[in-house]
Structure 1
Amino acid sequence: MKLQTRYGGFTAAVNSRIAAFLAIVLSLAVATGAATVHAQTEPVKLAILGDSLAAGYGLAPAQAFPTRLQAALKDKGRNVTVINHGVSGDTTAGGLERIDWMMADKPDIVMVELGGNDMLRALDPGATERNLDAIVGKLKQAGATVWLVGMLAPRNFGSEYVQQFDGLYKKLADKHGVPLYPFFLDGVAQDPALNQPDGIHPNAKGVDVIVERILPFVTKNLDDAASVRRPARP
């Protein structure tokens, strides 16, 4: 009788310890699951480091490229926050100077849309290339994924300038191994119906065309697991 009592007490103790162990395992699983859900629902932060084409010169804030791109991504079921870091009149030199300020937002991805003002001012393409090279390098060093957006020089600038300027974007994309969208104004440039009276900046319809054309590039690179490396956030 005493043996049975002792055996029963031993069994109860073992069962109690097993129950406690299972409770710990279950709580860890729940916590891990919650963290996973949080990670999956946290939006990807995409910053646009650009000039007036990104800033939305001459447009209402709701019509600017970053806002319209975010809306298009949302329509595709993408959880992406697009941050407008466009500054009208900015050159590649200006963009390089404000990287640290932009990175305070801790973007996962930075789309670099710069060079148009360098070209309009007929600045040395070599200097533009060096600035963009430094921008891409600094962003990658900071842990951001970089996408490069190209610009084309007007044909009346002369074949030598056109060749040097147009070619620098692919050269840098190949050097750094980053995705390149060749021409930001594809389908919009020189179309009066899609541009403001200055013939340079897209109107609201033009922005929608830009978004429509660049969207496959954006979604493709969002889907590329090697393309999105999310930096640690405090």
Structure 2
Amino acid sequence: MQISALLVSGILLTATPVSAATILILGDSLSASYGMPEHQGWVQLLRDKLPEHKIINASVSGETSAGALRRLPALLDSVAPELVLVELGANDGLRGFSPAQLKKNLTKIITLIKSTGANVLLSDILMPPNYGKRYSQAFRRVYQEIQTEQAITLMPFFMREIAPNPDLMQKDGLHPNQAAQEQISLWVKPWIVRVLPGVQQ
């Protein structure tokens, strides 16, 4: 009986998060509740699903990889996250920036995050088909190459199933509407859980 009790106790301990974690979301308008109040965005919905963790949203509408790279050192110092979700590149692509420059900036961002001991979750980004097959493929390869070179987790783009559905998009055709936010939070949550060591839901 005593051995069984100890085994059950051990199982319960391993199924419980060791401690609350601080999670930093470093993104653009797709993560910044663009076009709606902040409390309706997917980051707030994610907070509701992971109440034991502190989630800081440092996403800025219109942000590029270069802009985020400039902001990152101060954010890492002030927030001291255990995990950073990097959702960047859409604005680089929409402005036709070089995939090589995007890769350089994202690599620097990930290197900075790793230097603090934090984990990295990188979101894949897909370009609209009207940007041309060649550019879209080169853009996509950036994320695949970084995943391999940096040995990090690459989360599939959460707009993949939302963007084709006009009922889930704002009138601009670029941003998810309020109806899409719950779906995004459900998409992101298991990837966050997967990357946080010692956390099971």
TM-score w.r.t. the length of structure 1 is: 0.73
- SS of corresponding position for 1:131: helix
Structure 2 contact 30–175 (Cα < 8 Å) conserved: yes
Q: Which residue of 2 aligns with 1:72?
A: 49
Q: Give unpaired runs (5+ residues) of structure 2.
A: 1-16
Q: Give unpaired runs (5+ residues) of structure 1.
A: 1-39, 228-234
Say which of 130, 148, 170 aligns to 2:104.
Answer: 130
Q: Which residue of 1 aligns with 2:155?
A: 181
Task: Within 5 Å, give how 1:55-204 maps onto structure 2.
Answer: 55-74=32-51, 79-103=52-76, 104-204=78-178
Displacement over 3 Å in runs of 4+: none
Which structure's relative contact order is higher, taking Cα pairs within 8 Å and 6+ residues apart? 2
Say which of 41, 46, 54 aligns to 2:23.
Answer: 46
Q: Which has the higher helix share?
A: 1
- SS of corresponding position for 1:90: coil
Per-residue deviation, 1:192: 1.2
Say which of 176, 180, 186 aligns to 1:212.
Answer: 186
* Amino acid paired to 1:96: L
Q: 1:73 to 1:57 in 2, by over 3 A?
A: same
Structure 1 contact 186–213 (Cα < 8 Å) conserved: no
Per-residue deviation, 1:197: 1.1
- SS of corresponding position for 1:146: strand
Structure 2 contact 28–60 (Cα < 8 Å) conserved: yes
Separation of aligned partners in 1, 2:103 and 2:181: 26
Structure 2 contact 73–112 (Cα < 8 Å) conserved: no
